[in-house]
Structure formats: structure tokens, C-alpha cells
């Protein structure tokens, strides 16, 4: 089932306190006029943020309530909701096949293999890989980065070498490199960040990038402020000094079109659960020559060609990096998620989120007690809004919003170095996706009054 453009998208009127969309939104001005849900307010939107891009019925969680209220799900930076067809794809694998892949000489195994291999092809196309053999299934971004750290970093780096990263990174893209640096004697360096905007000071790249730099490990999109570094410029500069570049695509791949071949990144890591897929499945893209040179990450079945008493020979990528039985159902369901997002269109999703972000910036900026971290310049920032309300702890705000049916993230978002740079201990974070609407933003903003009532 494809997302049915033009279908109704009310959250249901079943007498359980759930409401229709009630705001009418003008993307250009970023203003919302209050009003009932007329015909336009129930149509699937065209990417202006006014209406969801898909029928909300596609997402079973949006048909339930939270604390007795309709769910305004704004924790997309952490994980996205799962569409029915993705849930069904995973269930179908267990219901209809349940067989292992690659080894079976019977129909169930062959069909499972076909579905698994198809998912890899879909993922490869989705990120613009030259070949499906460059896409390795992993448990997610964290494991993908660890794979590069262990198989590439630990074998390649030595004292005198440098790994360049940023203080914007999720802990997954810092802690791995701290450990690789400790083990190899390489040094860890950081591209300076402007604390006002959280933008990288790329004009100061020369101060930290040199022929000693062997790897640049950089986020494609901050999970705290939604800021997107100028990747192409950084990748070109890194290649000029002979460094490899790993892009943490956990947020980027789920919210923006990505063409890794034209971007030129050597590695791209991402997670299925942030792009409408299941948890526990994700991927690593690698350039063919780097993957060929790299030793395996894990050892065991499925990654070998021959095994003798005292040694073994290894399969070519991607099998070389996929020891053991993989998450077959998860991979198949992730392929389904890729098709779902592709049918909607990543450009449209990005435009929709940009409009919602602009609207959220505008609405939140009306209140002098709100601080929006990273500023409100929409140019290189979208999809995520991080803010603080007076001196109220983000967890208190998050808990009061929960009582209003509004799901946000509160805390340091696995980005303590960035929190330190901003001089704070945490933020309230709202992240948008294809099923969010201006009404979700309105509910967030209105619910903040409750926080003021209690803490004011």
C-alpha cells in the first residue's frame, strides 16, 4: 500500500478526546490562522507544513492517545513512528517465510534471500551508492561507526595521525574516535563551532586540517539543532589532504535526499528506526576501494569463502562485514520503509520540515522566556528545534508536555560536548517528520503555558 495522496488525515473522531487539525497554515508567512478543519485542512499536504504528507492512519501509534490526549509526536530526532506497511513487511517475513538466507536450497530460504537482497538494493539506490555491494547491514548508526573505527581506524592509524571531528557530534561519533585514538596513538582534533549558531567555522578549517589528518568524522545534520554542515566543502578539503571522510547520516538520511556518490563521502552511517523502519537495523555505505582494503569487523559464518584448521579466506564486501545471521525481518522492513519514503519524496519531506521549523521558530520566538538554541536562521538548519523555557529544567518541561499528549525529547541528547559549548545542561527538543502538522506545533506552544502556570 502506497501513501494515498489526497486521502483524509484526521486522527479519528471516535469520541476518545482526539481532535481534527484546527489550524490553517501559510508557509510563506509562517503564520497560522485559527479555524476549524475545513476540507483543505484534512487533505494530505504538498510539503508546505500545513498538512501531513501522508494519511495519519498509516501510523497506528497516531490512532492511540497519550495521557488521554491525541498524540503530538515530536520526538522524531530520537526515533520515527512506524507505518503499517513496514510493520506488516516484518510480520510477513516471520509469518510467511521465517527461513534463513543465502544457505537454503529450498523455496522459503530462496524467497527470504530475494526479499533481503532487494532491501539492500533499495537502500543503495536511496543513498545513491554506485553498487548494492557498498551497503552493509548493521544494527544502526552506532554499529556502523564502530565498524569503521575497528576495521579501518584501528588498522590504519598510528601516532602522529589525526582524526578530525566536531563538538556537534552525537556521542556515537565521538566516543568511538576517542577510543580509536587511545589505542592507536592518533590525536583527536575538533573543527571550531560558533556557539551562537552551532554552525561550524569552516573558514577556520585550515587551522585543524592538515596532511596529518587521516579521517574526518562529521555529522550530516545535528540531532540537537538540525544544523547541516557544508559537507561537500569539507569533504573536498579533506580529500585534498588525503583524509577519508565518514558522515554520520543518522539524521541526514531520514530527513533529506542524499546522493553519496556526488557528495563524495567515503563512509555514510545511518539507522533504520529514524526513517520509518524498525529498530536494530541500519547500514554503512563505503567506497568500494576502502571496503576492499578493510579487514572484517566480526568473524564467523557467512563472511568467509574457505575455512581451514588454521586460517580462513574472506568473502567480498558486503558479506565480509556481515558475520552471522543478520536481522532478516528488520532488513526487509527497512526496504519497505525506503519505498514508503521514496513514494512520498525526500525533497517534499525536507520542504515540509523546513516549513514546520520556520513556523515553530516564529511561534516560539513570540515568547521572551524562550531561548532557541542555534538561532533561527532556517538556511542551513531544519527539522529540529531545541529550546529552553526560562530556567525550567528540560525534564520538567518534557513531563508537563507529556501530560498534554505532546511527546518531545528533554536532556542532553547524547551530545554533552555541544551542551558544554552552549553552556547548558539540556534542551527541550522537537523534531518534525512527514506526519507532523502545524497543529502539532500549536499544541507544543500552547502546552508551554502549562509549564509557565506551574513554574511561573
> Could you give the 3-state DSSP secondary structure of residue 32?
strand
Minimum Å gap between C-beta 138 and ligand PLP is 9
Q: Which residue has the cell 555529522?
A: 219
- Taking CA atoms, 93 is separated from 89, 99, 103, in Å, by 6, 8, 17
431: Cβ–Cβ under 8 A, 6 or more apart, which residues?
Answer: 74, 75, 76, 77, 78, 226, 383, 384, 385, 409
Asked whether position 246 contacts ligand PLP by CB under 6 A, the answer is no
C-alpha to C-alpha distance for 39 and 179, rounded to whole angstroms: 56
C-alpha to C-alpha distance for 349 and 345, rounded to whole angstroms: 6
Among 184, 189, 191, 175, which Cα is nearest to 153's?
184
| Choice among 414, 421, 424, 425 that is catalytic | 414
Q: Mark the segment that binds ligand PLP (CB under 6 A) among 168-176, 206-214, 393-401, 435-443.
A: 168-176
* Identity of the residue, 112 or 247, whose beta carbon is nearer to ligand PLP in the bound complex: 247
- Which of 250, 344, 407, 419 lies at the binding interface for ligand PLP (CB under 6 A)? 250
Asked whether position 219 contacts ligand PLP by CB under 6 A, the answer is yes
- Which of 9, 82, 271, 447 lies at the binding interface for ligand PLP (CB under 6 A)? 271
Asked whether position 251 contacts ligand PLP by CB under 6 A, the answer is yes
C-alpha to C-alpha distance for 113 and 278, rounded to whole angstroms: 19
- Please compute Rg for the chain using Cα positions: 23
Minimum Å gap between C-beta 152 and ligand PLP is 18
Taking the mean position of all CA atoms in its chain, how far away is CA 445?
24
Is 8 within 8 Å of 42 (Cβ atoms)? yes
* Identity of the residue, 170 or 244, whose beta carbon is nearer to ligand PLP in the bound complex: 170
Q: Mark the segment that binds ligand PLP (CB under 6 A) among 29-37, 139-147, 210-218, 343-351.
A: 139-147
- Which of 50, 51, 120, 170 lies at the binding interface for ligand PLP (CB under 6 A)? 170
User: Maximum Cα–Cα distance for the chain, whole Å?
Assistant: 75
Asked whether position 142 contacts ligand PLP by CB under 6 A, the answer is yes
- Which of 3, 47, 49, 140 lies at the binding interface for ligand PLP (CB under 6 A)? 140
Q: Mark the segment that binds ligand PLP (CB under 6 A) among 6-14, 137-145, 300-308, 382-390.
A: 137-145
Is 299 within 8 Å of 323 (Cβ atoms)? yes
Minimum Å gap between C-beta 50 and ligand PLP is 27
Q: Please report, as residue ranges, which positions from 63 to 102 form the binding site for ligand PLP (by CB under 6 A).
A: 78
Q: Residue count at the site for ligand PLP (CB under 6 A)?
A: 14
> Hey, what's the cell of 188?
583527536
- Which of 162, 248, 266, 442 lies at the binding interface for ligand PLP (CB under 6 A)? 248
Asked whether position 172 contacts ligand PLP by CB under 6 A, the answer is yes
Asked whether position 327 contacts ligand PLP by CB under 6 A, the answer is no
Is 180 within 8 Å of 136 (Cβ atoms)? no
Per the annotation, the verdict on 414 as an active-site residue is: yes
Strands 267-271 and 244-248, bridge-based pairing = parallel
Q: Which residues form the catalytic set?
A: 414
Residues that bind ligand PLP (CB under 6 A): 78, 140-142, 170, 172-173, 219, 223, 248, 250-251, 271, 414
Amino acid at each position: 500500500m502506497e501513501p494515498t495522496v489526497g486521502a483524509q488525515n484526521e486522527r479519528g473522531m471516535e469520541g476518545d478526546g482526539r481532535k481534527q487539525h484546527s489550524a490553517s497554515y501559510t508557509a510563506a508567512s509562517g503564520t497560522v490562522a485559527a479555524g476549524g478543519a475545513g476540507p483543505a485542512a484534512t487533505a494530505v499536504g504538498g510539503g508546505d507544513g500545513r498538512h501531513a504528507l501522508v494519511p495519519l492512519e498509516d501510523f497506528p501509534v497516531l490512532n492511540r492517545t497519550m495521557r488521554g490526549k491525541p498524540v503530538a509526536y515530536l520526538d522524531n530526532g530520537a526515533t520515527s513512528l512506524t507505518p503499517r506497511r513496514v510493520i506488516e513487511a516484518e510480520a510477513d517475513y516471520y509469518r510467511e517465510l521465517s527461513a534463513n538466507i543465502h544457505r537454503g536450497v529450498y523455496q522459503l530460504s530462496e524467497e527470504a534471500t530475494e526479499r533481503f537482497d532487494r532491501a539492500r538494493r533499495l537502500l543503495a539506490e536511496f543513498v545513491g551508492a554506485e553498487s548494492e555491494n557498498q551497503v552493509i547491514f548493521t544494527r544502526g548508526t552506532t554499529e556502523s561507526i564502530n565498524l569503521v573505527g575497528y576495521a579501518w581506524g584501528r588498522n590504519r592509524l598510528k601516532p602522529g595521525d589525526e582524526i578530525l571531528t566536531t563538538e556537534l557530534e552525537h556521542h556515537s561519533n565521538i566516543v568511538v574516535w576517542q577510543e580509536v585514538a587511545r589505542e592507536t596513538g592518533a590525536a583527536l582534533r575538533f573543527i571550531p563551532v560558533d556557539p551562537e549558531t552551532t554552525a561550524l567555522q569552516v573558514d577556520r578549517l585550515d587551522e585543524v586540517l592538515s596532511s596529518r589528518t587521516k579521517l574526518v568524522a562529521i555529522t550530516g545534520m545535528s540531532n540537537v539543532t538540525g544544523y547541516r554542515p557544508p559537507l561537500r566543502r569539507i569533504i573536498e578539503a579533506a580529500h585534498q589532504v588525503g583524509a577519508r571522510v565518514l558522515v554520520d547520516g543518522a539524521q541526514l538520511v531520514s530527513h533529506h535526499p542524499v546522493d553519496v556518490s556526488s557528495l563524495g563521502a567515503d563512509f555514510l552511517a545511518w539507522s533504520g528506526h529514524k526513517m520509518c523502519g524498525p529498530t536494530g537495523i541500519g547500514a554503512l555505505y563505503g567506497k568500494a576501494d576502502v571496503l576492499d582494503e578493510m579487514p572484517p569487523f566480526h568473524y564467523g559464518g557467512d563472511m568467509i569463502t574457505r575455512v581451514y584448521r588454521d586460517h580462513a579466506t574472506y568473502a567480498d564486501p558486503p558479506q565480509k562485514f556481515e558475520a552471522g545471521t543478520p536481522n532478516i525481518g528488520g532488513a526487509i522492513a527497512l526496504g519497505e520503509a525506503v519505498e514508503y519514503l521514496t513514494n512520498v519524496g525526500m525533497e517534499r519531506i525536507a520542504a515540509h520540515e523546513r516549513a514546520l521549523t520556520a513556523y515553530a521558530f516564529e511561534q516560539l520566538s513570540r515568547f521572551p522566556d524562550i531561548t532557541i538554541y542555534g538561532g533561527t536562521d532556517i538556511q542551513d538548519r531544519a527539522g529540529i528545534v531545541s529550546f529552553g523555557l526560562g530556567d525550567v529544567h528540560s525534564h520538567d518541561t518534557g513531563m508537563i508536555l507529556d501530560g498534554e499528549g505532546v511527546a518531545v525529547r528533554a536532556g542532553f541528547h547524547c551530545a554533552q560536548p555541544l551542551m558544554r559549548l552552549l553552556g547548558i545542561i539540556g534542551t527541550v527538543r522537537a523534531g518534525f517528520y512527514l506526519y507532523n502538522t502545524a497543529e502539532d506545533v500549536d499544541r507544543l506552544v500552547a502546552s508551554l503555558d502549562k509549564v509557565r502556570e506551574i513554574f511561573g
